[in-house]
Structure 1
Amino acid sequence: MKYRSVFDIIGPVMVGPSSSHTAGAVRIGKTARKLFGIKPDHVEITLYGSFAETYRGHGTDLALAAGLLNFGTNDTRLPEALTIAREQGIRITITPDQKTQVAHPNTARLILSAGGKTLELVGVSIGGGKIEITEVDGFSISLTGSNPALLVLHRDKYGAVAEVAGLIAKYEINISHMEVSRHERGHLALMVIQTDEEISEALAAEIAGLQNMLNVAVLS
């Protein structure tokens, strides 16, 4: 594995005892909040593997709450994140599951809800504060958060992917990685597009206006 800087080795600037259990957890929570797009009323969190075993001692519960509040990994309010979430009207329930076998020991499943809208996300903390999102609303994906990304939920119709790619080219944005996941042919599918440049609100709005597009989320 190649490291771009010393910070990839020693981990991020952060509050907390562990880059995997704290900084990584903050980033999982923050990614979930960004994808959801609005402040959730309720967040159900299930922790697996070592997350489930040590989450209180390593502050994983606080870190996930901090991410859901859009705090950074070095925010000094992290130890009070659960209290602040309650004060902001976000109800967070945490369930440790030490029985279910998962592919990675530092795994969390988050279900966010508000006003009839829901989002289910599975994230893993892979070390040094880095994360990977492996599932969104039941779709298997691989998203690290190291590049800007566009997630597009759409009807699985002919030409849908080409239309989105065409608009991205119109804005002179280079696609670094792209994948499409679907449950069943001809039903719903999820595009995950990672880019070299930031994705503007104007581009996201144009994509959302295309036929067969159901939801568009941007990760910067």
Structure 2
Amino acid sequence: MVYWEYKINQTRRVMKNLKFQSVFDIIGPVMVGPSSSHTAGAVRIGKIVSAIFGDAPTEVEFQLFNSFAKTYRGHGTDVALVAGILGMETDDPDIPHALDIAHEKGIKVYWKINKDSKAPHPNTTRITLKNATKTISATGISIGGGNIQVTELNGFAVNLKMNTPTLIIVHQDVPGMVALVTDILSRYGINIAQMTVTRENAGEKAIMIIEVDSHQCDEAVADIARIPNLHNVNFFS
């Protein structure tokens, strides 16, 4: 209770001078502490990158920058990132044991610490996941209160805030892919709020990031997954 008493008192002081929609904008999500920025945000970054990878990794490298690099052990950022890769939620009691669990699963974990980096945001990590058949990399930042942004994916500049239901589709860059996906969403009555399409090079891998208004997309996602030349689809509600 000492941690939560501290956070509540901190909230009272800050809210005298600032306006927030909710006390949880400051306290953050239900989580294993000690920090919503360094722990809960780190779990969420790791989990999203793992979901996009869509498979069990054998190796993961974390590059940590600035504040993440300087305090990652003291604030539990290291175990939080690994917990996210393992698919844990922010309140999972096994988060403190994530490094041991990864070792038991045969996942090799590597760290690159960049304390003096010029990264645009102090809470920045670049994650690279590998197994025998594929590799992905992503850059994520924790912006406070458990909120995050993914700013790079496989070399693509992206802007994933994950505050609204979001589809992330990795596919081959062939004609008609966007039309096939949007047609399925239309048939299920799912409205598109925002859409970003980017690719490595013509004919190579591409990514669709689609923010939608519906939290109920399971049937549409199942249909999208059957589209030829599609590598994987993930839905974050």
Fold shared, TM-score > 0.5 on shorter chain: yes
- Whole-Å Cα distance in 2 between the matches of residues 207 and 157 of structure 1? 15
The counterpart of 2:92, out of the listed 59, 75, 78, is 75
Would you say the 8 A contact 2:165–2:235 is kept in 1?
A: yes
Q: Comparing 32-41 with 181-190, which one deviates more in the overlay?
A: 181-190
Q: Does 1:36 align with 2:53?
A: yes
**How many residues of Structure 1 are paired with residues of Structure 2 in the alignment?**
220
Cα distance, 1:143 vs structure 2: 1.0
SS for the counterpart of 1:24 is helix
- Whole-Å Cα distance in 2 between the matches of residues 9 and 54 of structure 1? 20
Q: What amino acid does structure 2 have at the position aligned with 1:148?
A: P
The 3 A distance-change label for structure 1 pair 42 and 173 is: same
Structure 1 counterpart of 2:138:
121
Structure 1 counterpart of 2:233:
216
Structure 1 counterpart of 2:150:
133
The 3 A distance-change label for structure 1 pair 82 and 214 is: closer
Structure 1 counterpart of 2:70:
53
Cα distance, 1:209 vs structure 2: 3.6
Deviations 1:197-218 (A, max 9, x none): 2364543343344354343333
Q: Gaps spanning 5+ residues in structure 1: where? A: none
- Whole-Å Cα distance in 1 between the matches of residues 150 and 216 of structure 2? 19
RMSD over aligned Cα, in angstroms? Answer: 2.2
Q: Does 1:189 align with 2:187?
A: no
The 3 A distance-change label for structure 1 pair 186 and 94 is: same
Cα distance, 1:163 vs structure 2: 2.4
Cα distance, 1:3 vs structure 2: 5.1
- Whole-Å Cα distance in 2 between the matches of residues 56 and 2 of structure 1? 32
The 3 A distance-change label for structure 1 pair 52 and 154 is: same
Based on CA coordinates, which of the two structures has the bigger radius of gyration? 2
Q: What amino acid does structure 2 have at the position aligned with 1:15?
A: V
Q: What amino acid does structure 2 have at the position aligned with 1:160?
A: M
Would you say the 8 A contact 2:62–2:126 is kept in 1?
A: yes
Structure 1 counterpart of 2:125:
108
Cα distance, 1:71 vs structure 2: 1.7
Would you say the 8 A contact 2:54–2:232 is kept in 1?
A: no
Cα distance, 1:27 vs structure 2: 0.6
Structure 2 counterpart of 1:94:
111
Q: Does 1:12 align with 2:29?
A: yes
TM-score normalised by structure 2 residue count: 0.83
